[in-house]
């Protein structure tokens, strides 16, 4: 189960999904409400809980078990909420250059003052405009494609905090750090993961959108994780 980050959609996993299918495995790439091909549903009141429910319901309706649940960037918030809501079907968690939140925190809580100001400058009527692909250090060949596909996201998804008890401690967890992007917040999460029991850290020398820049390496990693 591959969960995209802010402003993206299930489309961003296309190269990874093709490789997973070629190896005889199944992959699901839900697009979160209001984004990507579901951008016609965009409204300011969509929050993190809605996106968590998107993924929870897909797991329940597809009767999935032993899942490798991977979240990219903001998707780390989503998969953390899913793991707290229904930990039983999840065999492993993978944070792909992602938010690694503690219970009771939001994405907003982890931003610097400058990061918050940047989002506020690009917010209108409760909706945040997407960052340009170049800001994620996407490879030059794919910049125009990513810019074309990215869509706005409700600010409420960044503000809502995880509120449940943390049920993730027993689930094996991997943090994949994009050292070619290397912003301090994500570097800190990678360092925390390397020091905490139950975590495994992997570094890949690419930009933030690893599933686009390094699909072969990301697929190899996902397929190697036991559940």
Question: What is the distance between the alpha carbons of residues 123 and 21, in angstroms, rounded to a whole number?
Answer: 38
Q: How many angstroms from the chain centroid is the CA of residue 205?
A: 18
Task: Please pick, among 73, 80, 124, 169, the residue that the annotation labels catalytic.
Answer: 73
Residue with tokens 């009527």: 125
Nearest alpha carbon to residue 193 among 184, 185, 201: 201
For 170-181, how does the pLDDT look when each residue is reduced to its tens digit (9 = 90+)? 899 999 999 999
Q: How many angstroms from the chain centroid is the CA of residue 109?
A: 17
Give the CATH number of the domain where residue 176 resides.
3.40.50.1820
Question: What is the distance between the alpha carbons of residues 75 and 6, in angstroms, rounded to a whole number?
Answer: 7
Total tally of structural domains belonging to the chain = 1
Question: 73 an active-site residue?
Answer: yes
Query: 111 lies in which domain range?
Result: 2-224
For 63-120, how does the pLDDT look when each residue is reduced to its tens digit (9 = 90+)? 999 999 999 999 999 999 999 999 999 999 999 999 999 889 999 999 999 999 999 9
Q: Tell me if residue 214 falls in helix, strand or coil.
A: coil
Structure tokens at 158: 């960044």
Predicted model pTM? 0.96
């Amino acid at each position: 189960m591959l969960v995209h980050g802010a402003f993206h959609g299930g489309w961003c996993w296309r190269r990874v999904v093709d490789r997973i299918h070629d190896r005889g495995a199944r992959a699901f790439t839900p697009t979160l409400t209001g984004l990507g091909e579901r951008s016609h549903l965009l409204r300011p009141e969509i929050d993190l809980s809605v996106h968590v429910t998107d993924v929870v319901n897909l797991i329940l309706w597809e009767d999935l078990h032993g899942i490798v649940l991977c979240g990219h960037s903001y998707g780390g918030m989503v998969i953390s909420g899913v793991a707290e809501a229904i930990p039983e079907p999840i065999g492993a968690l993978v944070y792909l250059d992602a938010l690694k939140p503690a219970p009771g925190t939001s994405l907003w809580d982890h931003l610097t003052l400058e990061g918050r100001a940047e989002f506020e400058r690009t917010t209108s009527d409760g909706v945040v405009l997407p960052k340009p692909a170049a800001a994620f250090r996407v490879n030059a060949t794919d910049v125009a494609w990513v810019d074309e596909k990215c869509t706005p996201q409700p600010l409420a998804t960044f503000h809502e905090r995880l509120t449940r008890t943390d049920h993730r401690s027993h689930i094996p967890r991997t943090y994949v750090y994009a050292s070619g992007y290397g912003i301090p917040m994500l570097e800190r999460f990678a360092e925390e993961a390397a020091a905490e029991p139950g975590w495994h850290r992997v570094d890949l020398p690419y930009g933030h959108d690893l599933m686009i820049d390094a699909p072969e390496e990301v697929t190899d990693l996902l397929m190697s994780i036991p559940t």
